[in-house]
Structure formats: structure tokens, C-alpha cells
Amino acid sequence: MHLDYTRAEALYASQDLGQEIGLGERPALLVVDFQLGFTDPASPIGGDMSAAIEATVDLLAAARTADVPVWYTVVGYRPDLADAGVWPLKYPRLDALRRNTPAVQVDPRVAPSDAEVVILKQYASAFFGTSLHSMLAAARVDSLIVTGCTTSGCVRATVVDGMQYGYRVVVAEDCCADRDEAPHLANLFDMRTKYADVAPSGQIIKSLELRSGQPSRT
């Protein structure tokens, strides 16, 4: 399949889709599913996401320096997938993501600190079947910087829900990874035009440094 977005780009612009939202007063950083089951190329559902992970290392440092709180998600199931609903009917290799195995651990290159919460989820959106929104509301967060994988899967679903739940969302595009570039770019297009801002991590880091008045500690 080959897709030409030339006409769509012109049409969307003519309907004023894709205005810039801007970050809020109290952003949080959300790292979606950078777990070994996806980021280890040897995993049956994994791929090489090194570039996005390295970019996320810098973004994490900037967030922590600026006292922007960080949440992580991982997908994990019982061995019998009894907590996976209908999803394995479509995607049987979800059985690679068994709880209490390395596949469900956050990639050590972007490891959480002791104070940062890792949310265990079963579905695509970080909001679905979790209490993420309760933690964000209790912490008075009003906007989300989103990174992770895959762009066309859990990142997209999380970004749509983030907007729906009332958060201003910016996707750090070079901190998101997918199995292949075509769905990565197609989903960045949809998110940028309809739900969220999409920006390079360098620009987001600069904005966080401006807020905190100091360069990030790496």
C-alpha cells in the first residue's frame, strides 16, 4: 500500500485543523510502554527503538530538573491472558507480555526513579482501566508530554484519551517509536491535525528549561 497525503494536507489546512494548543501550567511527562517486550529486538513483538529511547533519556533529565512529574506505563497480563479481554483474539502474541517477566519491565535505559509510578495496564490507552487520571488530577496536572511506543498503537490511543480527559497534549515525536516508519508518520499526522501538538524533543526541553530557569542535569 502506498499513500499520498498531499490532498489531505491541503484539505485539513483549509478546514483550520491542527492549530497549536501550547503546553499548560503544570505539565507531566508520560512514558508509554518502553518495556523490554517492545524495545528488545529479540522479543517476539519487539523492535529496535534505540533512537527514540536515547532521545527520551534527555527529555527525562529535563523533566526531572524542571520538577515536572513523570509517569510510566507497561502492558502486562496473567499467563492465561484471562485479564486481556478480547484483544488476544486479534493479537495473540500479547502472551509475550507476562507479568513478573523482563518483558514487562521498563527498559533500563529509561528507568524510573523510586518515586515515579509505573502503571500496569492491559489495553492500548494509558487511561483505560487505570487510575492515571486520578493521579494527574490529585497532582493538579493540566498537560501531558507523551513519549513511548508504539506510535500507532498505545501512544495514539493515549493521546486521544488525554485530549478527551481534558489535558493539553504534546507528543515528543522523536521520542516515539513504531515497528515501521509508515504507521509512525501516518499517526503523527492524525494526532497533530486533530488531537495534540507534535514537536521535537529539543524544543520541548528548551521550553522546560525556560520554565525552571536552569539547564537540565543529564
Active centre residues (catalytic): 154
Q: Does 200 bind its own copies (CB under 8 A)?
A: no
51 or 214, CB closer to its own copies? Answer: 51
Written as one string, the DSSP assignment of 23-54 is --SSEEEEEE--BHHHH-TTSTT----HHHHH
What is the C-alpha to C-alpha distance for residues 95 and 217, in angstroms, rounded to an integer? 38
Question: What's the chain's Rg over C-alpha atoms?
Answer: 17
DSSP-assigned letter for residue 110: G
- How many C-beta atoms lie closer than 10 Å to residue 217's C-beta? 8
Write down the least CB distance from residue 104 to its own copies, Å. Answer: 14
Which triple of cell numbers denotes residue 177? 517509536
Report 57-76 residues binding its own copies (CB under 8 A).
Answer: none
Which of these ranges, 17-25, 60-68, 101-109, 206-214, lies near its own copies under the rule CB under 8 A?
A: 17-25
Give me the 114-133 binding string for its own copies, x by CB under 8 A, dash otherwise.
-x-x-x--xxxx--xxxx-x
Give me the 19-58 binding string for its own copies, x by CB under 8 A, dash otherwise.
x-xx-xx------------------xx-------------
Q: What are phi and psi of 190, to 5 degrees?
A: -60, -45
Which of these ranges, 9-17, 51-59, 100-108, 209-217, lies near its own copies under the rule CB under 8 A?
A: 9-17
